[in-house]
Structure 1
Amino acid sequence: MDPRAPQIDDPWELDHSRGDAAAALAAAEVTVEATYTTADNTNNPLGPFATLASWDGDRLTVHDSTQWPFGVRSALAAVFKVPESSVRALAPYVGGGFGAGLRVWPHVILTAAAARRLGRPVKLVLTRPQMFTSVGHRPKSVQRIAVGATRAGDLVALDHRSVSPVAMEDEDYEPIASGTASAYRCDNVRTRDRQVRLNIPSPASMRAPAESQGNFALESALDELSYKLGMDPLELRLRNYAELHPVHGLPWSGKALRECYEVGAQRFGWFARDPVPRSMRDGHWLIGYGMAGVSYPWYAMDCHAQATLHRDGSALVRSAATDIGTGTYTVMTQLAAECLGLPMERVRVDLGDSDMPVAPPAGGSGLTVALGNAVVDACSRLVRRFVELAAPDGTSALSGLSPESVGVTRGRIHPVGRPEHGETFTGLLDRHGLVELTANGHSTPRPQDELGMALSGAFGAGFVEVRVDADLGLVRVARVVSVIDGGRILNEKTARSQIVGGTVGGIGMALFEETVTDAPSGRIANGTFGDYLIPVNADVPAMDVVFVGDPDRGSPLGTKGVGEIGLVGVAAAVANAVHHATGRRVRSLPLTLDALL
């Protein structure tokens, strides 16, 4: 990175320091110091982003490939100087975003401007090359890590510094080094993040932003330390396990990382490996085992939802949040059906419309927590309204009961433990001459100091086997075991799909993906699927995904997001496995053939 470029130190005020990392490193019995680099990667949903805009007077309607309809509404209202209530953004389904749909990009504004100027609807679809320049990308990083430990393997110092680029007139939240501050038990830690302004397309969030880059450097450095100590990499991590949050000193709201390590090692057969690099072969293939510990921060925002029960006994739940292929419709239908005591086929969930109750973006692995709690709150309030409706009626089986003393089964509200008594939703509506009854719900994250515990994101452990052609340096990922602490898993099928998808993205980051910029012109040199390499079916092995842990105490539902945790740690585990297979330590991503020949 050009030293003449404008630099921003600690852009998010997240730099951390505890103890004296410099002194502890100088006194450490064993140290590892190395520089790790990751490449630019580009979000590549199969469907290019598209926008359709139409005006009716001062009323603007936009259909957009967005992960945040309310963000689109707010931005367009500001640009065109109309009330937010005059803008409607629709995104009921988005085939994939991977973070690219979290912002309102210039093409959205241009489409709306053209529609206003022409007085007719306008649709714009980005080309694949434009997807490489117009909707963000994961920024490259240069990271310097220094680790100090005793000969017994106790960490005494961690110093992690990162530099990443940002566009000349833009902001991107990418605190790459900050996760190291809370990863392990260590008394002397320093993390520093710095950005440099360059003439490049704007970087932006790409699945597992910051954590994916930072974890590669940290977990690779720990792997290097384990070999220098002559200690099993898994034992090193368990020895430095953080029982309390290292920064806040609070107990975790939920952490089953130790169980992730133990279950993963057993299912993978970790202890069957010969620890000596380049010692395991299958014909001309060198075999390597690698692992990494992973985490992704807890994240949730305010969210609203609305629940309505109709006279025909069906329910409708509405919120502006969108489904980007993660199964949000399915999971929210399950929650509403469970809370209202209805079969799933009697519940409809409508999403992706900014005219619905306000919701946060589908990103940061936070939507299930935020929206799920809001949906449950709305449905609980709806049941309460029915109980209150029946309370004044002395002939009702619910008369005199509090909302806390009732249950709901098969569309019937009844005293707890007595499902044969009570009244149906439809019966109550009929008797009071009502067509429907509606309640609004809301979820707001509670702060850590109020909870008395550190809010825990998802944790996990990844174990990878690679095969490397001894002559050609060709790397093949043979199998992956991912053990995830995602709190309460609401739907194991959709959650597993998220881990599998994240793992595929991690394999891409490790072995294939690199957005190449021609320095003299600033043009993207490989902005097509013919030139930008991504994993295909032949590159993806069979995957073993296991969920462990208990419901998280920091969320009423007990859930954690799992949309990104599956990607974090894959690159480090692959790189560590390649070292075990070949004896070569590659500190830059992607791992290419020339580095192994």
Structure 2
Amino acid sequence: MTTFQTPASLGAGIDRVDAPLKTTGTAHYPNDFSYPGLVHAALVGSTIAAGRIRAIDASAAQAAPGVLTVITYLTAPRLERGPVSLLGKSPPAPLQDDRILHHGQHVAVVVADTPERARYAASLVRVTYETAEPLLDVRDPRAETVENPWGLDTRRGDPDAGFEQADAVVEGEYTTPDNTNNPLGLMTTIASWHGDSVTIHDSTQWPYNVRTSIARIFGVPESGVRVLAPFVGGGFGAGLRVWPHTVLAVLAAREVKHPVKLVLTRPQMFTSVGHRPDSVQHIRIGATSAGDLVAIEHHGLSSVAMEDDDYEPVSLCSAVSYACPNVVTRDRQARLNIPCPGSMRAPAEAQGNFALESAIDELAHTLGMDPLDLRLRNIADTHPVLGLPWSSNALRECYTEGAARFGWSRRPPGTGSLRDGRWLVGLGMASVSYPFFQVPCQARASLRRDGSAYVRSAATDIGTGTYTVMTQLAAELLGLDIAKVRFDLGDSDMPYAPMAGGSGLTGALANAVHAACRTLVAEFLDVVRDDDASPLRGARPDDVTAADGRLRLIGDPGAGESYADILARHGLEELSADGRSTPPDARRLGMAAAGAFGAKFVEVRIDPQLGLLRVTRVVSAIDGGRVLNEKTATSQIVGGTVGGISQALFEETVTDAVTGRIANATFGDYLMPVNADVPDVEVVFCGGSDRATDASTKGVGEVGLVGLAAAIGNAVHHATGRRLRSLPFTIDQLMG
């Protein structure tokens, strides 16, 4: 592995390089683009959750002013299903038959010359249905069950024997509801065909996935599909898959031979771009009287759509979170008449951690131990499954530093023992981890005669700071001022990049940028290899350092020259180099690649007469490896904390138990926290460089949310003695 020397400016909390564009309104999101002759599409959604279409009458819509076409399953061409990606199979292709699998399913798309006319015409489409009884409850015994979908169930040791040896056993059932990704920007697709080629502006977190999927679905070469997403109005996982509305926009543009724009409405965002699936989890944990874990059993049941393969192994966190010799985890899915689920920030871990960390807290209470001491006693100093040392693990430091900042030592052990006037006060905590995830990535770096650099990759920045961090990284590696470096992304014609999700992009892309910049330096040295006029003649990459736009010999800092001089003397306008990264091989490295770790400490206040619950303090101690930009990393943890509070106290996508209609599909009805619900959040980063990759960093996008629900629930128990096992925590649970 190439040695990565820590650049001086990395870690500094510099402002986002894209901030001026965003604050002046000149950043172009998908909805901001236009083309000559642009027309607009509107969707018609099913009003039943299960059954068949008996008839569609589109005549009134077709005759409405400005309408170019109405496409239904009767007129749509046959479309291939998209390819299998890292996230599994693509959602089913739209408008392929008369079956209805969920409420809100797209049954027609109307294209007209204005968005208002398209929406009005869509309201004129009349659909007659043959209705069937939908399956809507994850516990419904009639639902088809999918066992161990991706082969991720685990078992080690002998859990039954472990429970027999336990001095204390706790068990319980925990439930989490559907949550819906609600980025502020409505998901938008613009498609414009040019012969057999198509340009697509899309609210995607993965341009290459859209490219490969559209090419497969429409039977065109991938080189004929260009996907652009320089800015995305939030995602939280909603932009990871290629959803049917994107396919329909591309189809409509091909049918009417005009560029087409399709913007989802807010209610359609609840049925069209995924959601966190609900779960029912049963967990049992056994320990000795001294607090040593001897057995963990964690079973999860979650929902999935009728013909989809999205999978979230909610129990899997229990396999690796603690040093326990006997563990079994098992996940199943129930097929229901619901919209296709998808990743939502901290998928699977957000649900599974709530159950595990609530049960760990209950075990501590049963044993009469401090919850922090129980966790410290059972830290997994090596990977529990692989038996290898971690590439880094500062969880113990997260515990101790977070506890010190929070003042955990002042927490009295008894429930209901802290009061402030009428308020009951509770202090709770949870341990946190998020699994390592990295996939191959590529980047290209160029240096021009004017001394500026241009670095690019087909990634996206959904607000995480990718533009900024990669600009910082390239500037340090090439020895340039940040103002001389431009990093670009969001274009599938650029080198391949994976999705912005799973806390994997920063590491993968940073490693690719590192490789590209190092190779570019080697290219410059190759140019002057036999150049008698160059003080760098015959030098190798390990012989030089880069600073102030120059390459200098490490042993003789006065011997060097600028990139611009090398290019000018050799008659070159620029040099370019490609770099790629690949995931580390744990067995070859002799270590287990570590994801992020952390500890969350929370204070809550409860009015027992009104059932009011307020989160009043949060401390998040995070091991994210080497922090490339403290300001953007902190922002990620704070944003994740808001999401965790939201999961714990507010969010629940409510589906009518009879019709399958989502009953709260607006911002007026779907509850989310506002400023008054979120306290100041203290964030501290612990640990240091990770050894698995050149960039030495670990993603922090997901880990910020994990653990908040459990920590809040544990704090509620400390305040009241009530153990809440169902999210979100509501007034009736606190008063019942």
- The AA in structure 2 aligned to 1:133 is T
3-state SS of paired residue (2:559)? coil
Select the residue among 311, 315, 318 that pairs with 1:177: 315
RMSD: 0.7
* CA deviation vs aligned residue, 1:149-175 (integer Å, no higher than 9, x gap): 111111111000000010010011201
Distance 1:33 1:409 in 2: 59
Percent of paired sites with the same residue: 66
CA distance in 1, matches of 2:255, 2:379: 60
Q: How far apart in 1 are the matches of 2:600 and 2:310?
A: 28
Deviation at 1:417, TM superposition (A): 4.8
Given the alignment, which residue of 708, 723, 728 partners 1:570?
Answer: 708
Whole-Å Cα distance in 2 between the matches of residues 531 and 365 of structure 1? 30
Partner of 2:611: 473
Q: How does 1:75-474 map to 2 (within 5 A)?
A: 75-474=213-612
Give the conservation status (yes or no) of the 8 Å contact 2:584–2:593: no
Q: Give the Cα–Cα distance (whole angstroms) in 2 for the partners of residues 337 and 539 of structure 1.
A: 39
Pick from 133, 139, 159: which aligns with 1:21?
Answer: 159
Is the deviation greater in 253-262 or in 274-283?
Answer: 274-283
TM-score, L = length of structure 2: 0.81
Task: Name the SS of the counterpart of 2:558 in structure 1.
Answer: coil
After TM superposition, give the deviation of residue 421 of structure 1 in Å.
Answer: 2.2
Q: Is 2:186–2:233's contact at 8 Å kept on the other side of the alignment? A: no
- In 1, are the aligned partners of 2:304 and 2:311 still within 8 Å (CA)? no
- Kept in 1, the 8 Å contact 2:617–2:681? The answer is yes
Q: Which has the larger radius of gyration?
A: 2
**Equivalent residue letter for 2:636:** Q
CA distance in 2 between partners of 1:313 and 1:400 (Å)? 22
Whether contact under 8 Å (1:39, 1:589) holds in the other structure is yes
- Structure 2 distance, partners of 1:103, 1:292, is 31
Matched position secondary structure for 1:595: helix
Query: Residues 37-89 of structure 1, C-alpha deviation per residue, up to 9 Å, x if partnerless?
Result: 11110000011101111001111000000000000001110111000000000
Q: Which amino acid aligns with 2:396?
A: R
Q: CA deviation at 1:26?
A: 2.9
Contact 1:407 1:417 in 2 (8 A): no
CA distance in 2, matches of 1:113, 1:575: 47
Amino acid at match of 2:242: V
**CA-to-aligned-CA distance 1:324-349 (integer Å, 9 cap, x gap):** 11100000000000011000000001
Aligned partners of 1:401, 1:311: CA distance in 2, in Å? 21
The one-letter code matched in structure 2 to 1:292 is A
Offset at 1:423?
1.0
- Structure 2 residue ranges without an equivalent (≥5): 1-138
Q: Secondary structure at the match of 1:440?
A: strand
Kindly indicate whether the alpha-carbon contact (under 8 Å) linking 2:281 and 2:301 is maintained by their aligned counterparts in 1: yes
Q: For 1:186, what is the secondary structure of its paired residue?
A: coil
Would you say the 8 A contact 2:601–2:711 is kept in 1?
yes
Deviations 1:258-311 (A, max 9, x none): 000000110000010111111100011100000000000000110000000011
8 Å contact 2:188–2:202 — kept in the other structure? yes
Q: CA deviation at 1:442?
A: 0.5
Which residue identity lines up with residue 557 of structure 2 in the other structure?
P
- The separation in 2 between residues aligned to 1:418 and 1:313, in whole angstroms, is 22
Q: Can you list the C-alpha shifts for 1:388-447, whole angstroms capped at 9, x where unaligned?
A: 111101221001222210111111111015333211101010111001110001000121
Q: Is the 8 A contact 1:409 1:419 kept in 2?
A: no
Find the counterpart in structure 2 of residue 528 from structure 1: 666
Deviation readout 1:350-399 (Å, 9 max, x if unpaired): 10000000110000000000000101110110011001111101221001
Deviates more, 1:390-399 or 1:338-347: 390-399
The one-letter code sitting in structure 1 at the alignment partner of 2:519 is R
Contact kept? 1:412, 1:419, Cα under 8 Å:
no
| Aligned equivalents of 1:401, 1:163: Cα separation in 2 | 60
* 8 Å CA contact 1:167, 1:198 repeated in 2: yes
Displacement of 1:323 = 0.6
Letter in 2 for 1:46: L
Distance in 1 between residues matched to 2:575 and 2:383, nearest whole Å: 45
Give, in angstroms, the shift of residue 594 of structure 1: 0.1
How far apart, in 1, do the equivalents of 2:538 and 2:342 lie?
55
Name the TM-score, length of structure 1 as normaliser: 0.99
| 1:54 lines up with 2:198 in the alignment | no
Rounded Cα–Cα distance in structure 1 between residues aligned with 2:491 and 2:557 = 37
| Rounded Cα–Cα distance in structure 2 between residues aligned with 1:387 and 1:416 | 14
Aligned partners of 2:439, 2:469: CA distance in 1, in Å? Answer: 18
Could you list the per-position Cα deviations for residues 158-205 of structure 1 after superposition, in whole angstroms to 9, with x for gaps in the alignment?
A: 000000010010011201101111110111110001111111011110
Q: Residue type matched to 1:74 in 2?
A: T
Question: Does residue 497 in structure 1 map to residue 635 in structure 2?
Answer: yes
Secondary structure at the counterpart of residue 422 of structure 1 = strand
